[in-house]
Structure formats: C-alpha cells, structure tokens
Amino acid sequence: MSLSSKDKAAVKALWAKLSKSADDIGADALGRMFQVYPSTKTYFSHWNDLSIGSGPVKKHGKTVMGGVGLAVANIDDLVKGLFELSEKHAFELRVDPANFRILTHCLLVVVASKFPADFTPEAHVAFDKFLAAVSLALSEKYR
C-alpha cells in the first residue's frame, strides 16, 4: 500500500490547510488518546498532568506534529527523512507500534472534527495511507 503520486498530492494539499493549526491538532489528538485509550498513558508516567489542555500535553502535541510536518516534507523518502526519529523510537522510546495506529486514529478524528469540509473520503484515504507509512518508517529499526 505505497503512496502514489495522487496520494502525495492529496496529503500535501490537506497539510497546507492543516499546518497553521498543527499545534492545536496535536494537543487535541494526544489528550483525546490518553482519555479514550488509557493504556497509552503508560509511556508518560513521568508527566504530572496528562489531561486535555495541560502544559505537557500541549508541548508534546506540538513535538509530534513537528514530526508529521517533517514527514510531509520528506514524503518521497520517509525512511531516509525520518531516520533519526526512527532510531529514537527504536532504541530510546520503544513505543509498541500498535500505538501508532491508535494515535493515527485520534489524529484523523480531530482533523475530521476541525476540518469537516476538507477531510473528504479521498483526503481521508490518502492521509490514512500516509500516516501508516510514517508509522512503518518510525518502526523501521525496531528489529
């Protein structure tokens, strides 16, 4: 299920509309994820506040979306472009890759709620494929 040129164009077009709100989207998606999927909180036991709108959640949402933006910019070679993030996730963070799908779903829900007109089924399939490819690139060095 690799990205066609049509997929890449759709992702870039959607990102152009989303990028100004990237920080909000990231914070909303993360906060939502912790509430809807409590098992994901296990990776953040060192934070004092995982509630929606909290400082740590906002800050980390921004970090995560920075990664998504980096992926969009490197959409033609995600494995190469996300090399350092991939190493970080493999050797330092060791987040179970099942969680990438969970965060992807929360991101899609937030994008749908904030940009209903832009998040057409066509944009949805391209973005879902893209985030799946990003997840794959991030888990590239796991084993």
Partner 1 sequence: MVEWSDQERSIINSIFASLDYEDIGPKALSRCLIVYPWTQRYFGGFGNLYNAEAIKTNPMIAAHGIKVLHGLDRAVKNMDNIKATYAELSVMHSEKLHIDPDNFKLLADCLTIVIAAKMGTAFTADIQAAFQKFLSVVVNALGRQYH
Q: Which residues of the chain form contacts with partner 1 (CB under 8 A)?
A: 31-32, 35-36, 52, 105, 108-110, 112-114, 116, 119, 121-122, 124-125, 128
CB of 6 to partner 1, least distance (A): 11
Q: Measured from the CB of residue 60, what is the shortest distance to partner 1 in angstroms?
A: 16
Which of 88/124 has CB closer to partner 1? 124
Rounded-to-integer distance, Cα 141 and Cα 143, Å: 6
Residue among 10 and 138 whose Cβ is closer to partner 1: 10
Return the number of other C-beta atoms located less than 10 Å from residue 25's C-beta: 24
Cα separation, 29 vs 108, whole angstroms: 8
**CB of 107: closest distance to partner 1 in angstroms?**
11
Cβ of residue 82: shortest distance to partner 1, in angstroms? 23
By C-beta, is 76 or 122 nearer to partner 1?
Answer: 122
Nearer to partner 1, 17 or 114 (CB): 114
E strand or H helix at 123: helix 121-138
115-142: burial string, b at 16+ Cβ within 10 Å, e else: beeebeeebeebbbbbbebbbbbbbbee
Query: CA nearest 50: which of 64, 30, 65, 70?
Result: 30
- Specify the residue, 9 or 112, whose C-beta has the smaller distance to partner 1: 112
Q: How far is CA 28 from the centre of its chain?
A: 12
Least gap, CB of 115 to partner 1 (angstroms): 8
